[in-house]
Amino acid sequence: MNEGNARLNLCTFCQTYMEDEATKLMAETLEKNAIDKSEYPQTTEMENRCVNMIANLWHAPEDMNYIGTSTVGSSEACMLGGMAMKFRWRNRAKKLGMDVTSKKPNLVVSSGYQVCWEKFCVYWDIEMRLVPMDEEHMSLNIDKVLDYVDDYTIGVVALQGITYTGKFDDIKALDALLEEYNKTAKISVPIHVDGASGGLFTPFIDPDMEWDFRLKNVVSISTSGHKYGLVYPGIGWVIWKDEEYLPKELIFEVSYLGGTMPTMAINFSRSASQVIGQYYNFLRLGFEGYRQIHQRTKEVAMYLSDEIEKTGLFKIYNNGENLPIVCYRLVDNANVEWTLYDLADRLAMKGWQIPAYPLPINLENTIIQRIVCRADLSHDMAELFIRDLKSAIKDLNNANVIVHGKEQEKKTYGFTH
């Protein structure tokens, strides 16, 4: 069967390795339904402990009552964060006598958004206002944000790891900008941090970076446990800084499972095995274990970046220093007949899955490749990849037929990986 090798799939952030003990434990708990909190109180306790540990990583204030939940992934977590902002905005707008029916509320995010935000805006009838990226601003352009904000803005989404490139939005600068804006605004504008990739990476590698609940206007954060939380798909987490940021209408009491239990997730029945896998990792690895794994992954990414740059053919957009993501394009004077699409095809012949794609709107003529380094990408494997990359380049330079060439159709859309 024509099936890719998961270990060689460098397209995806999703984890492709866990310890045998973790895999066995998860297999033994597949039948447990995470929603049956009365029937499985110890599983519920594990989920609560995971929320507590993540809230601590994100510096939830001790004088506030944070609240959070597990989800099936960061997309559901983003949906919940977005819904909370919408409902909270609507409740405040009604109290102020604003018309909440004749004009759509809006959400502000950079054009480097992940596709879940487009889905959110379509599903819940929100106007998505995109702050364009450009060559000088490969993340959220802070200088342009207020051009898109008004009294109908439910919030600004900040990306702690842009899916296209791995770069971070300057969330601290965004917080300062909105702090000034909110002083005179009719309705204050909050920040939701989409930390799908960076939420469980940054706290271990750069704990002094201020991007989380240490910032006044950051009211909710979502992340993926199956990316740098090191768990198999699918598990995500969302946490609100205080209960006031999660409207009570979004918390539902379920009494027909043997006891009255609150639930706030969109999804209902799902296996508890991923929650148990996350708890296993937190206990097994601890802070230092996660730090060591992420540091090693970062070093592999930076090695790849250095070796790719040494070829002289590529401009590096992200070298893996902030997130272990390596992004690059062909230099302007590359003087080759092939494109990155051709290079991706050639690497696929060796089993490596490396995507080539256009950057988002306003940069859609720029084609880049992205390598996602995960915990199971060893330095030895990275060396093998560089060998295969150089071989692929040599083959393309000597080829009589180029499959894609310079006229490859360019498309742009919200990233899905």
**Tens-digit pLDDT profile for residues 283-299:** 999 999 999 999 999 99
List the Cα angle 68/74/79 in 5-degree steps.
75
Q: If you average pLDDT over residues 66-90, what whole number do you get?
A: 97
Cα–Cα distance list, 354 to 6, 8, 101, 318, 371 (Å): 12, 9, 45, 15, 6
For the cut 80, the answer to whether the pLDDT of residue 2 exceeds it is no
Q: Distance between CA atoms of 290 and 91, rounded to whole angstroms?
A: 40
Q: CA 15, 20, 21, 24 torsion: positive or negative?
A: positive
pLDDT at position 174 is: 99
Q: What is the CATH number of domain 296-398?
A: 3.90.1150.160
Rg from Cα positions in the chain = 22
pLDDT at position 412 is: 45
Q: Coil, strand, or helix at residue 41?
A: helix
Q: Distance between CA atoms of 375 and 293, rounded to whole angstroms?
A: 6
| Cβ 377 vs Cβ 300: under 8 Å | yes
Annotated domain spans of the chain: 20-284, 296-398
Average pLDDT, the chain: 93
Q: If you average pLDDT over residues 180-199, what whole number do you get?
A: 98
Q: Which strand (E) or helix (H) includes residue 211?
A: none
Q: If you average pLDDT over residues 307-316, what whole number do you get?
A: 98
For the cut 50, the answer to whether the pLDDT of residue 236 exceeds it is yes
pLDDT at position 407 is: 52
pLDDT at position 408 is: 52
| Paired strand residues for 220 | 192, 240
For the cut 80, the answer to whether the pLDDT of residue 410 exceeds it is no
Assign domain 20-284 one CATH number from 3.40.640.10, 3.40.50.11540, 3.40.50.10860, 2.170.130.30: 3.40.640.10
Split at pLDDT 50, 70, 90, the class of 413 is very low
Split at pLDDT 50, 70, 90, the class of 133 is very high
pLDDT at position 265 is: 80
pLDDT at position 409 is: 46
Q: CA 137, 143, 147, 150 torsion: positive or negative?
A: positive
